[in-house]
Amino acid sequence: MTLNYDNEALPKVLTVENMNPHIREMEYAVRGRLAIRAEELRDALAQGEKLPFKTVVSCNIGNPQQLNQKPITFFRQVVSLCENPDLLAPEKEAIVSQLYPIDAIERARQILKDVGASIGAYSHSQGVPALRKSVADFIAERDGHPADPNSIYLTQGASSGVQNILSILTQNEKSGILIPIPQYPLYSATLTLLGATPVPYYLDEETGWSLDVEEIRQTVREARSKGTDVRALVIINPGNPTGQCLDALNMQDVLTLCHQERLVLLADEVYQTNIYEPEQRPFVSFKKALKEHPQHDTIELVSFHSISKGMIGECGRRGGYFECCNLDKGVMDQLYKMASVSLCPNVSGQIMTSLMVTPPKQGDPSYELYHKEMTGLYESLRRRSKKLEAVFNDLEGVTCQPAMGSMYLFPRIRLPEKALARAAELNQKPDAFYCDLMLEATGVCVVPGSGFAQKDGTWHFRSTFLPPEELFDDFCNGIRKFHQDFMNEYNK
Ligand SMILES: Cc1ncc(COP(=O)(O)O)c(C=O)c1O
């Protein structure tokens, strides 16, 4: 037998054709082709190439600190002390107390005590018990109902929690999960990866992206009659990409539906502090709604939260949690086993999660600055959301529902026939065609509505309103000019 060592002649063992087909089929538009092109343009600018714009603005993803949002000082002070515990040594006290407020120093000491060892050590697979307890206390205070730290998992952002829960919920291609359309593509991508079936239900754009419980019931029954084992309902509240907030009565109907149709409810609440009409539509958690429902002891609920959004925007740190209510004890054991395979969520993310839920209180040395930073960011986000909404509604052929919450607007674009024909010639979806041209003309990277799915025959795009306030007028003017030029070109 001769061994062939000629590498040139050997085909690859792993190829795109023989790899896991679910990964090949999976799509995630938020970081898709347009985002890759945006990076190329950013590199070109850095190398001095002349383009029609000076900067690339990444509005394709809710990544606040990438767009110059400053981190909250207190959180970073505590985290930095935890990262470098030498600063807490008695001989450094005189210097460090000049640099850090006393409550940040005390908090870091307490966290290190809670973590027990170095933050470089693996923690409990579910998350450090004391940090989980801080999350449980936060939930209890937010909702007026107790929470059990043992029902809480700290996670690497909400994404890993969603992925774990979807994988435990699905068995095979017959397992169906109800997802909103439009949806955040974490859900469709994860279901593709798992080989399970997304069961779409539609949000109604004309009524502010509202959700019709009876329509969902019809969807469940239809899917079941075709053999899909529909097991869970995903609700994103406040919505992404659509920005709507559910009202409390609607939430009770959703819970009744879950009870009657035997569905686990997955409540994605990562935008719970991004609420821009708090009097008209305050945030109500599904945990609170559940506790006020007659079937509060039976309906199975998992709710997700994250450090990535809100005014914190620490998405690169990967922190968050989910809370389970009324799940089967055996399933909870399996969930723990799953978490233990990944050993533990990163400890810095766990620390930031605990800080998010236990910020400085009134009277603490850091409270004033914390409060000023949080309200400043909140007011600015609210102003930017209103400004961009007005810009979109002013464009020819564009309508845009307000963002009651979240970080996005999802305008509907009605494109001239000639633009539709040109997109077809290029074998592109019309909204992708429009977004490509916007990026090339303005440097603004948004995501075509087709990346989130949308009602047939309608076209949209999603943009964050995160560009910094001092650049916001330029950003809006760029979009305005692009749209005008586009319409002039294709209306001819
Ligand atoms: C609705 C929704 N859920 C979950 C996530 C995931 O967030 P992370 O994993 O950063 O917590 C996002 C991120 O944009 C989101 O918009």
C-beta atoms surrounding 213 within 10 Å: 18
Structure tokens at 150: 């043992």
Distances (CA, A) of 177 to 121, 197, 303: 36, 6, 15
- Return the sign of the alpha-carbon dihedral for residues 382, 281, 232, 345: positive
pLDDT tens for 63-78 read 888 888 899 999 999 9
> Residues 38, 56: contact at Cβ < 8 Å?
yes
Centre of ligand 1 to C-alpha 185, Å, is 10
- Give the number of the atom of ligand 1 that is nearest the alpha carbon of residue 315: 10
Give the residue carrying structure tokens 């995501």.
Answer: 447
Q: Are strands 175-181 and 229-236 parallel, antiparallel or unpaired?
A: parallel
Cα 452 from Cα 337, distance rounded (Å) = 32
β-strands 301-306, 320-325: how paired?
A: antiparallel
Q: What is the pLDDT of residues 268-327, one digit of tens each?
A: 999 999 999 999 999 999 999 999 999 999 999 999 999 999 999 999 999 999 999 999
Contact of 207 with 186, CB cutoff 8 Å: no
Compute, in angstroms, the gap from residue 395 CA to the centroid of ligand 1: 29
Q: What is the atom index within ligand 1 of the atom nearest the CA of 271? A: 1
- Tokens read off for 50: 């002349």
pLDDT of residue 117: 77
- Rounded distance, CA 171 to CA 415, Å? 42
H helical segments located in 229-326:
248-261, 286-291
CA distance 194 to 167: 7
Pocket probe for ligand 1: among 309, 353, 410, the residue whose CB has the most ligand atoms within 8 Å is: 309
pLDDT tops 70 at residue 360? yes
Q: Which of 67, 209, 242, 308 to mutate to test the pocket of ligand 1 (most atoms within 8 A of CB)?
A: 308
> Could you give the domains of the chain?
21-61+382-491 (3.90.1150.10), 122-357 (3.40.640.10)
Burial category of 197 from C-beta neighbours within 10 Å (exposed 0-12, middle 13-18, buried 19 and up): buried
Nearest to 64 by CA among 272, 296, 309, 249: 309
Residue 261 tokens read as 């149709």
Task: Please compute the mean of the pLDDT values over residues 380-384 and round it to a whole number.
Answer: 95
User: Taking a C-beta distance cutoff of 8 angstroms, is the pair 265, 252 a contact?
Assistant: no
Strand (E) or helix (H) holding 279: none
* pLDDT, averaged across the chain: 94
CA 388 / ligand 1 centre spacing (Å):
22
Burial string for 294-315 (b: 16+ CB within 10 Å, else e) reads eebeebbbbbbbbbbbbbbbbb
Q: Residues 89-123: pLDDT tens digits? A: 999 999 999 999 999 999 999 999 999 978 999 99
* Residue 177, strand partner residues: 198, 232
User: By alpha-carbon position, which residue is closest to atom 13 of ligand 1?
Assistant: 62
Give the residue-averaged pLDDT of 463-487.
Answer: 94
pLDDT at 2: 56
- Helix, strand, coil % (nearest 5) of the chain? 50, 15, 40
Nearest Cα neighbor of 478 from 98, 89, 59 is 59
Cis-peptide, bond into residue 238, ω within 30° of zero: yes
Dist. CA 315 → ligand 1 center (Å):
9
- Structure tokens given for 9: 């002649």
Residue among 436, 315, 429 nearest 41 (CA): 436
d(CA 159, CA 14): 28
What do you get for the CA distance between the two ends of the chain, in Å? 72
Distance, in Å, from the CA atom of 178 to the CA atom of 196, rounded to the nearest integer, reads: 11
Is 377 within 8 Å of 339 (Cβ atoms)? no
Tell me how far apart the alpha carbons of residues 464 and 406 are, in angstroms, rounded to a whole number: 9
Q: What is the pLDDT of residues 125-172, one digit of tens each?
A: 999 999 999 999 999 999 999 999 999 999 999 999 999 999 999 999
What is the C-alpha to C-alpha distance for residues 147 and 138, in angstroms, rounded to an integer? 9
Q: What percent of the chain has pLDDT over 90?
A: 91
The answer to whether residues 306 and 318 touch, using CB atoms and an 8 Å cutoff, is no
Do 281 and 243 meet the contact criterion of CB atoms below 8 Å apart? no
Q: Compute the distance from residue 23 Cα to the ligand 1 centre, in Å.
A: 20
Q: Pocket around ligand 1: residues whose beta carbon is below 6 Å from it?
A: 62, 157-159, 184, 186, 236, 240, 268, 270, 306, 308, 315, 320
Measure the CA–CA gap between 244 and 236, rounded to whole angstroms: 9
Ligand 1 binding pocket mutation candidate from 67, 240, 312, 352 (most atoms within 8 A of CB): 240
Length of the chain: 492
